[in-house]
Structure 1
Amino acid sequence: MPERKDSDSRKLLRRLRETLAAPGGGQDRLDQITHHIADSMGTQVCSIYLFRDPETLELCATEGLKPESVHQTRLRLGEGLVGRVARTGRYMNTANAPAEPGFRYMPETGEEVYPSFLGLPIQRVGEKLGVLVVQSSEARQFSEDEVYGLEVVAMVLAEMAELGAFLGSQLDGMPLAHRFPVMLRGGTGQEGAAEGRVWLHEPRVVVTNPVGEDPQNEKVRLNESVAMLRTTVDSMLSAADMGAGDSAEVLETYRMFAHSRSWLRRMEEAIDLGLSAEAAVEKEQSQARARLESAADPYLRDRLHDLDDLSNRLLRILTGQGRDTGAEMPENPILVARNIGPAELLEYGRRLKGVVLEEGSVGSHAAIVARALAIPLVIHAERIISEALNGDPILVDGDTGIVHLRPEESVTKAFHDKMAMQAEAQQRYAGLRDLPATDKAGTTIQLYMNAGLMADLPSLDGSGAEGVGLFRTELQFLTRTRVPRRGDLAALYAHVLDSAHGKPVMFRTLDIGSDKVLPYMKPQDEPNPAMGWRAIRVGLDKRGVLRMQLQALIRAAVGRPLYVMFPFVTEMDEFEDAHRLLMEQLAREQRLGHDMPSDIRVGAMLETPSLAFAPQKFFEMCDFISVGGNDLKQFFFAADRENERVRRRYDTLNSSFIMLLDQIVRRCDQARVPVSFCGEDAGRPIEAVTFAALGFRRLSMRPASIGPVKHLIRRVDLGGLREVIDRGIAQGETNLRRSVTEWLARQ
């Protein structure tokens, strides 16, 4: 960069820093800033547009445009040149703004005499805050040095916004950031309702010194911190001991980013223009995000997480702001995070009242742990990280996927009423705990619970469950950095059986792949992992792990019945192969002199339509079959259950799906093999009684659903409901929900 430009940039940044330190309101600061920038750039106009809401930009300050247009001129995201800059996150530089596609003339501003336009996004690590614009009456394009210098200014403005420099008051038109109520609509990860205070999993690093006084000193600080980061990364990756293959290549890429000279050079150039080391890191992080988020290559977009992680580590080294900031966790904490792993969530344990994630999925590890802890979880809550502050009051409605941040009193009152009704219902269900789920005609349905952690098992007695219909063994693999030892697994499985007090526990063998990737497992670059190398396919290809797990189960069951079921079986040969492997391990353990289970039952999870059409011999070979409703439904309807756009389009009570379930029940009855339904739908009372009417005599669900399901079963005649189902199908109804719900209402 030319020395003159460096000097001009530093002078402007010093003036901005003085403005930040001076007393006054947010509007006063913005007015001074637009004046300083226009003066420094030699332009007639400088304007700052800030987001009023996620879709609306508002002119909040200007030097050169008509003053009366401030807080009156608004643009939708993507509207006009300013809206385009905000939407794309990229600068726009033109000598003839009116000739640009999408130009919008705003007569109230008086900008028609300024054809030159340079607009840059004001953004901070992916969070869009507004747009900075300079305009000139001279028709010219701004130089690369001018663009780069203004990018540095926009970065400082973003940091000033984070520090609260532009907060409004009730007397001016400025936005009241982090003060007003916000409703965020996400997706349901785990049902339930919770009220509490925000606890940020990764508190945002606050850069309190965006402007650097001494460039040489800032470069020394940056280089020392980068050296420390590289040492930390090298040590971390050496300790990971990933061996060769794709995993090692991914980690080497991570190491390469940390050692990148161009990454360091770009941050040093930003320091030369007047930024502090911290602000230079955030500037590079923000611009890298903007580049990678728009990349067509999914591999490049995935690298965004690596760069974010490295930048955040570097910022924490520079500022000393680690995760442990000294802040005390509030009472009734609601965890707010971009995403979180199962081990980290387990560390918080039952202290949490709820969890809200910007990312996540219904089948993620975090969702499974949240269900085990019986806490509400909302996923895909966009902007929650940027909107929430530690300690903010928050309401989490896991039933609808809605989050209320800093709620108004009327919203809080309605939410309290809902929680009171739910508590009253749970009290009512508690009285049914020791009663059977028997309908009016005397048909009894066995209600089992799903589990995967020791934290689940206290619910076995409290919920009234008659056993564990699904114990997810993969969670013990997912929460560790290395493959668990056989002895550790045997001890864990024995503890599970001890805690069940003689009630049956169906252990599902390792179900990994798809969205469940082990941290020490070679990642598979599959275009559709849900239909790829997963579950029993992995077990039969990597027999060492499956053998070890089967041996651990056999040793844990000493003198007790052992129930083993294999996941994602798609054809009879897979079940025969897995069954043979289990028998071989039983014979081996017996030869070694180990005590044997008193009985062993081997089953399969029916999760693909293909298995419903398997030869009759398959059904006769199984000791029991569990219909995995979540996967079966997604493959039946070709609708990815992680895709919010399609997963809710298809109803479980669709006649075609009900007819498939009916066929499965009839085939199992013909082979005299017990069949259960396991999945989210089993815990929904309307769906549950429909399954029971079809002939499922065992349902497996989360513990909290057992009371509501039992309550409804005891109030109806399943035979009468079966008549409604048959009549609806015979009459050509494509969906049975209306007929079923109307019949239930009459009961």
Structure 2
Amino acid sequence: MAGRSDSDSRKLLRRLRETLAAPGGGQDRLDDITTHIADSMGTEVCSVYLFRDTDTLELCATEGLKSQSVHKTRLRLGEGLVGRVAKSGRSINTANAPAEPGFRYMPETGEEVFPSFLGVPIQRVGEKLGVLVVQSRVAEPFTEDDIYGLEVVAMVLAEMAELGAFLDQGSDAPQMQHRFAQIFRGASGQEGAAEGRVWLHEPRVVITNPVGDDPQKERARLNDAVAMLRSNVDAMLAASDAAGKEYTEVMEAYRLFAHSRSWLRRMEEDIDLGLSAEAAVEKEQSLARSRLESAADPYLRDRLHDLDDLSNRLLRILTGQGKDTGAEMPENPILVARNIGPAELLDYGRKLKGVVLEEGSVGSHATVVARSLAIPLVIHAARITSEALNGDPILVDGDMGTVHLRPEETIAAAFRDKVAMQAEAQKRYAGLRDLPAASLCGETVQLYMNAGLMADLPSLQNSGAEGVGLFRTELQFLTRTHVPRRRELAQLYSHVLDSALGRPVMFRTLDIGSDKVLPYMKPQDEPNPAMGWRAIRVGLDKTGVLKMQLQALIRAAVGRPLYVMFPFVAEMSEFEDAYRILMESVAREQRLGHGMPTDLRVGAMIETPSMAYAPKRFFEMCDFISIGGNDLKQFFFAADRENERVRRRYDTLSAPYLTFLELILARCAEAEVPVSFCGEDAGRPIEAVTFAALGFRRLSMRPASIGPVKHLIRRVNLQALRAQIDDARDRGISNLRPVITDWLARQ
């Protein structure tokens, strides 16, 4: 569109809109579109490539190339110039296409006589839909105006694809979204299975008017909406003063985006070329995401979320499509979202049957909340928010980390059989609630539950747990926009102890950092946060928060025993410092004349290999020790548990890891200090009986795991299993899982 007026650009976009409204099939529309674009730009070739599946692009329409290549020419993502545009999300402009790196010659198209090539991505807010290409016989690059104009056209095509304009029923047509069965393979955040209907946390904004007829009117609409957005952000900033300096600094950065003149100017230029205000916002959002997602700087990547949120807010102002769309939550809702905070997830509560996230992590606070609510969770389900619509049938397999959207009936029937079998097993486990976890050889294992919310505590009675082996105190900090007050925490901890009905509750002090960042705490942008400033390291650097929490615990436990556990201790001096602060807090409460706990037990979590070799005095100082298996395993194997490529390569039932656990057991036995194993592995029956065979007599797990673990322990001779483990290690077997599972199967 070089050298052409804005009115010519708008004429083309109007023709595209008319094509959208015209009767006929999707192929007819695509053919008309390529003809219109080639004619308007004065090029010999215009082609549209769309994704046939997530990795394959297909030539779906062309003006200028050989017609027999349509629906026959295909490229893998990243293959050829078209594949490079699709993979990178960036335009390629060249006067000599065959000389470009990665060029792929496709003789069936007849494109060899068109050396000039311009390809732009067809994408919608990070969702890759295809590539729009123009080519010319004249060997010269296209102009900046050409590139910009074609990006505007690609934006309109993306909206047309979203509205189903290119959907055909023929078997040769690519399957468009929102219509067909889809499988998403993510990762398990919480085990379990659920069937229900999609409920989108943030419903998609549907743009029905991508083309604007009156640029002045669209500019006015955009400016009014931006003014309202800025006002809302300024109000949020004013309210953030009470949340502390660090949160205010985050909001200030957010405000800079909202008041960016360059952002507004680019959107106004898009409107001048013929886009509506909504389409202009979404075009800039899509281009920014494609650039920032590949940015090496973690700060720039984090800003992507700010820009996304601002753009979504602006779109909702323009369209009136707020979160409250008037749609009613379906029965058996399955929440689908890119990500979600713990407070927002708690607002939904137990009405949810499951959760599916595009992002998330196995240790995030949203995952912890899902476990507390005992609902299946799948994370890393890429692109599901782009594909799912409110009310779509959906199956969530938290055990396998798999999601079936709009499943076929055969899949749904098999899934229901699995759910029925699990329900039947739970009925059997309920009958064991009041029985001890006693093995056939007479050994008894105490089974404790992990908790972090008041909603967890009814499970203490229902599951048959003998106490709370881990109470995560950080959730009360994560679900607030400001630091909780000491009085609030004391009331909460007192309520927890009341609900425990005399059973022991091990309170772990604040474990923040890594993947648990407080909303009012400035992110540290650490390259490896799991090994960074977190847990007890934060508490010892910010002693005011640690002291406040310890004082709240002491006041809550008046007249009752109190168990306090310090997390992520990596050397003895850290435990000594934390222990000293606790004792100072006790002395302070006594001086103030406050009541005291009847007993005070102080423990530590062993989550770093270094503490297995700590001085004997460390073990003698502890009244109890809990092995934090989730962190300990990732550090032992040097395998980040958030990295799916490595975390599953290393097995809990490997001989070196079990031998290392035995070393910790021996150190604890030498100091006569009780030790428990706490973490995901403690709740897996095969791992649990293995730990019991090694000598663990206390395991702490999520409430739903207590029944299955108790069921297996009661059917196993732990001494015989230990003999099998020792024999396998003597024979030099590295991974003991096959040995253990085969032996259990024979029993």
Task: For 1:496 and 1:715, locate their aligned partners in 2 and report how far apart those are by CA, in whole Å.
Answer: 33
CA contact (8 A) 2:299 2:525 kept: no
CA contact (8 A) 1:570 1:611 kept: yes
Please name the residue that 2:479 is paired with.
Answer: 479
SS at 1:102's partner residue?
coil
Most deviating of 405-414 and 702-711 = 405-414
CA contact (8 A) 2:191 2:376 kept: yes
CA offset digits 1:697-740 (Å, max 9, x no partner): 10000011101110110011111111122222222222211221
Please name the residue that 1:392 is paired with.
Answer: 392
CA offset digits 1:416-452 (Å, max 9, x no partner): 1111111111111111111100001111000000000
What letter corresponds to residue 644 of structure 1 in structure 2?
A: E
Give the root-mean-square deviation of aligned CA atoms.
1.5
Task: For 1:27 and 1:647, locate their aligned partners in 2 and report how far apart those are by CA, in whole Å.
Answer: 45
Please name the residue that 1:365 is paired with.
Answer: 365
Task: For 2:587 and 2:114, locate their aligned partners in 1 and report how far apart those are by CA, in whole Å.
Answer: 87
Between the two proteins, the alignment pairs up a number of residues equal to 747
Please name the residue that 1:89 is paired with.
Answer: 89
1:3: Cα distance to partner?
8.1
1:733 equivalent in alignment to 2:733:
yes
1:716-727 alignment to 2 at 5 Å? 716-727=716-727
SS at 2:602's partner residue?
strand
1:569-588 alignment to 2 at 5 Å? 569-588=569-588
1:507-526 alignment to 2 at 5 Å? 507-526=507-526
CA contact (8 A) 1:169 1:176 kept: no
Please name the residue that 1:351 is paired with.
Answer: 351
1:118-133 alignment to 2 at 5 Å? 118-133=118-133
CA contact (8 A) 2:247 2:519 kept: no
Task: For 1:308 and 1:26, locate their aligned partners in 2 and report how far apart those are by CA, in whole Å.
Answer: 31
Please name the residue that 2:150 is paired with.
Answer: 150
Structure 2, unaligned runs of 5 or more = none
Task: For 1:688 and 1:29, locate their aligned partners in 2 and report how far apart those are by CA, in whole Å.
Answer: 60
1:663: Cα distance to partner?
1.1
CA offset digits 1:665-707 (Å, max 9, x no partner): 1111121111000000000111101111111110000011101
SS at 1:404's partner residue?
strand
1:270-419 alignment to 2 at 5 Å? 270-419=270-419
Task: For 1:385 and 1:337, locate their aligned partners in 2 and report how far apart those are by CA, in whole Å.
Answer: 6
CA contact (8 A) 1:19 1:33 kept: yes
CA contact (8 A) 2:2 2:143 kept: no
What letter corresponds to residue 304 of structure 2 in structure 1?
A: L
Please name the residue that 1:701 is paired with.
Answer: 701
CA contact (8 A) 1:194 1:396 kept: yes
Task: For 1:122 and 1:716, locate their aligned partners in 2 and report how far apart those are by CA, in whole Å.
Answer: 59
TM-score by length of 1: 0.98
1:535-614 alignment to 2 at 5 Å? 535-614=535-614
Q: Pick closer, same or farther for the CA change 1:467–1:192 going to 2, 3 Å.
A: same
Task: For 1:724 and 1:621, locate their aligned partners in 2 and report how far apart those are by CA, in whole Å.
Answer: 35
SS at 1:691's partner residue?
helix
Task: For 1:449 and 1:424, locate their aligned partners in 2 and report how far apart those are by CA, in whole Å.
Answer: 22
Please name the residue that 1:14 is paired with.
Answer: 14
1:584: Cα distance to partner?
1.9
1:744 equivalent in alignment to 2:747:
no
Please name the residue that 2:77 is paired with.
Answer: 77
Task: For 2:116 and 2:616, locate their aligned partners in 1 and report how far apart those are by CA, in whole Å.
Answer: 77
Q: Pick closer, same or farther for the CA change 1:187–1:505 going to 2, 3 Å.
A: same
CA offset digits 1:611-639 (Å, max 9, x no partner): 11111111111111001001111111111
1:163: Cα distance to partner?
1.6
CA contact (8 A) 2:184 2:403 kept: yes
Task: For 1:29 and 1:226, locate their aligned partners in 2 and report how far apart those are by CA, in whole Å.
Answer: 34
1:587: Cα distance to partner?
2.1
Please name the residue that 2:136 is paired with.
Answer: 136
Most deviating of 76-85 and 430-439 = 76-85
Task: For 2:328 and 2:657, locate their aligned partners in 1 and report how far apart those are by CA, in whole Å.
Answer: 50
CA offset digits 1:513-571 (Å, max 9, x no partner): 11111111233232222112111111122111111111111111121111111111112
What letter corresponds to residue 302 of structure 2 in structure 1?
A: D
Task: For 1:427 and 1:697, locate their aligned partners in 2 and report how far apart those are by CA, in whole Å.
Answer: 26
Task: For 2:554 and 2:243, locate their aligned partners in 1 and report how far apart those are by CA, in whole Å.
Answer: 31
SS at 2:5's partner residue?
helix
Please name the residue that 1:533 is paired with.
Answer: 533
1:4: Cα distance to partner?
3.7
1:277: Cα distance to partner?
0.7
SS at 1:569's partner residue?
coil
Task: For 1:454 and 1:248, locate their aligned partners in 2 and report how far apart those are by CA, in whole Å.
Answer: 30
Structure 1, unaligned runs of 5 or more = none
Task: For 2:479 and 2:348, locate their aligned partners in 1 and report how far apart those are by CA, in whole Å.
Answer: 14
CA offset digits 1:275-298 (Å, max 9, x no partner): 111111111111111221222222
SS at 1:522's partner residue?
coil
What letter corresponds to residue 342 of structure 1 in structure 2?
A: P
Q: Pick closer, same or farther for the CA change 1:250–1:268 going to 2, 3 Å.
A: same
CA offset digits 1:373-419 (Å, max 9, x no partner): 00000000111111111111111110010111111111111111111
Please name the residue that 1:111 is paired with.
Answer: 111
Most deviating of 408-417 and 590-599 = 590-599
1:622-661 alignment to 2 at 5 Å? 622-661=622-661
Task: For 1:511 and 1:17, locate their aligned partners in 2 and report how far apart those are by CA, in whole Å.
Answer: 55
1:196 equivalent in alignment to 2:196:
yes
| Percentage of identical aligned residues | 81
1:244: Cα distance to partner?
8.0
Please name the residue that 1:441 is paired with.
Answer: 441
Task: For 1:55 and 1:564, locate their aligned partners in 2 and report how far apart those are by CA, in whole Å.
Answer: 52
CA offset digits 1:581-617 (Å, max 9, x no partner): 2122222222222222121111111111111111111
Task: For 1:118 and 1:542, locate their aligned partners in 2 and report how far apart those are by CA, in whole Å.
Answer: 56
SS at 1:121's partner residue?
strand
SS at 2:274's partner residue?
coil
What letter corresponds to residue 597 of structure 2 in structure 1?
A: P
Q: Pick closer, same or farther for the CA change 1:110–1:523 going to 2, 3 Å.
A: closer
Task: For 2:492 and 2:243, locate their aligned partners in 1 and report how far apart those are by CA, in whole Å.
Answer: 28
Task: For 1:183 and 1:458, locate their aligned partners in 2 and report how far apart those are by CA, in whole Å.
Answer: 35
Q: Pick closer, same or farther for the CA change 1:571–1:402 going to 2, 3 Å.
A: same
Task: For 2:525 and 2:285, locate their aligned partners in 1 and report how far apart those are by CA, in whole Å.
Answer: 26
Task: For 2:313 and 2:470, locate their aligned partners in 1 and report how far apart those are by CA, in whole Å.
Answer: 39
What letter corresponds to residue 159 of structure 2 in structure 1?
A: E
1:245: Cα distance to partner?
6.3
SS at 2:567's partner residue?
strand
CA contact (8 A) 1:359 1:381 kept: yes
CA offset digits 1:333-373 (Å, max 9, x no partner): 11111000000000011111101111000000110000000
SS at 1:71's partner residue?
coil
Please name the residue that 1:492 is paired with.
Answer: 492
Task: For 2:163 and 2:499, locate their aligned partners in 1 and report how far apart those are by CA, in whole Å.
Answer: 52
CA contact (8 A) 2:242 2:482 kept: no
CA contact (8 A) 2:240 2:248 kept: no
Task: For 1:576 and 1:96, locate their aligned partners in 2 and report how far apart those are by CA, in whole Å.
Answer: 69
SS at 2:568's partner residue?
strand
Please name the residue that 2:180 is paired with.
Answer: 180
CA contact (8 A) 2:250 2:522 kept: no
Task: For 2:543 and 2:300, locate their aligned partners in 1 and report how far apart those are by CA, in whole Å.
Answer: 34
Task: For 2:185 and 2:380, locate their aligned partners in 1 and report how far apart those are by CA, in whole Å.
Answer: 8
Task: For 1:111 and 1:530, locate their aligned partners in 2 and report how far apart those are by CA, in whole Å.
Answer: 52
Task: For 1:246 and 1:500, locate their aligned partners in 2 and report how far apart those are by CA, in whole Å.
Answer: 36
Most deviating of 583-592 and 493-502 = 583-592
CA contact (8 A) 1:472 1:509 kept: yes
Task: For 2:110 and 2:524, locate their aligned partners in 1 and report how far apart those are by CA, in whole Å.
Answer: 57
SS at 1:604's partner residue?
strand
Task: For 1:205 and 1:506, locate their aligned partners in 2 and report how far apart those are by CA, in whole Å.
Answer: 46
Task: For 1:267 and 1:2, locate their aligned partners in 2 and report how far apart those are by CA, in whole Å.
Answer: 20
CA contact (8 A) 1:26 1:174 kept: no
1:579: Cα distance to partner?
1.5
SS at 1:241's partner residue?
helix
1:247: Cα distance to partner?
4.7
